[in-house]
């Protein structure tokens, strides 16, 4: 499985149509999600980032993420 550094993850911010986000060490491809159009979710969350901390405050469980493909791991 591909290992992403934080810098590599930043490239997948939705600007080129591909949106990856990291959660709990895994990197998910949310490009096809309605909720991640143009790499932005609910105005304030941006693709290309580790959202582990942000998800703790989200009005939904992390399991909403689990339906999206895992494309790699986030480097420590």
Rule CB under 8 A: which residues touch other proteins? 34-35, 42-44, 57-60
In whole angstroms, how close is the CB of 45 to other proteins at the nearest point? Answer: 10
Question: Which residues share a beta bridge with 26?
Answer: 23, 73
In whole angstroms, how close is the CB of 57 to other proteins at the nearest point? Answer: 7
Q: How far is CA 49 from the centre of its chain?
A: 6
Enumerate residues 6+ apart whose C-beta is below 8 A from 8. none
Q: Which is nearer to other proteins, 4 or 36 (CB)?
A: 36
Q: Which is nearer to other proteins, 17 or 59 (CB)?
A: 59
């Amino acid at each position: 499985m591909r290992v992403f550094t934080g810098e590599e993850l930043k490239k997948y911010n939705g600007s080129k149509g591909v949106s990856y986000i990291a959660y709990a060490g895994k990197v998910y491809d949310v490009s096809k999600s309605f909720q991640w159009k143009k790499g932005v979710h609910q105005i304030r969350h941006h693709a290309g980032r580790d959202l582990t901390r942000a998800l703790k405050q989200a009005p939904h469980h992390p399991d909403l993420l689990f339906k999206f493909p895992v494309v790699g791991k986030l480097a420590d």
